[in-house]
Amino acid sequence: MPHHSPPPAAPKQANNPLHGKTLEAIVTELADHYGWEGLGQRIPVRCFTCEPSVGSSLKFLRKTPWARDKVESLYLFMLREVRRTGR
């Protein structure tokens, strides 16, 4: 009987705050936390600085992997800050 081990990503996902989060939820939480202006200062891309909206941001981020990476990194940073400071 062959031994089946769980997929390698399984245990790590449990501690991954991005797991199960939609990009829309991430952008919405960041905009609520920093405001669009603050978001545009931290990640200076047009979708955050020029008539920002969740919809236009999602469109851009889905086509732009480097910007999406920055958004996810900022989100993880925000979660750590919130945990550390309580706000």
CB of 58 closer than 8 Å to CB of 47? no
9-41 pLDDT tens trace: 445 566 788 988 999 999 999 999 999 999 999
Question: What DSSP string runs through the chain?
Answer: ----PPPTHHHHHTT-TTTT--HHHHHHHHHHHHHHHHHHHHS--HHHHSS--HHHHHHHHHH-HHHHHHHHHHHHHHHHHHHHH--
Per-residue pLDDT at 8 exceeds 80: no
Would you kindly state where each structural domain of the chain is located, as residue ranges? 22-85
Task: Return the CATH number of the domain spanning residue range 22-85.
Answer: 1.10.720.30
Per-residue pLDDT at 62 exceeds 60: yes
10 Å CB burial of residue 10 (0-12, 13-18, 19+) is exposed
40-60 pLDDT tens trace: 999 999 999 999 999 999 999
Q: What pLDDT sits at residue 12?
A: 54
CA pair distance 55, 69, nearest whole angstrom: 18
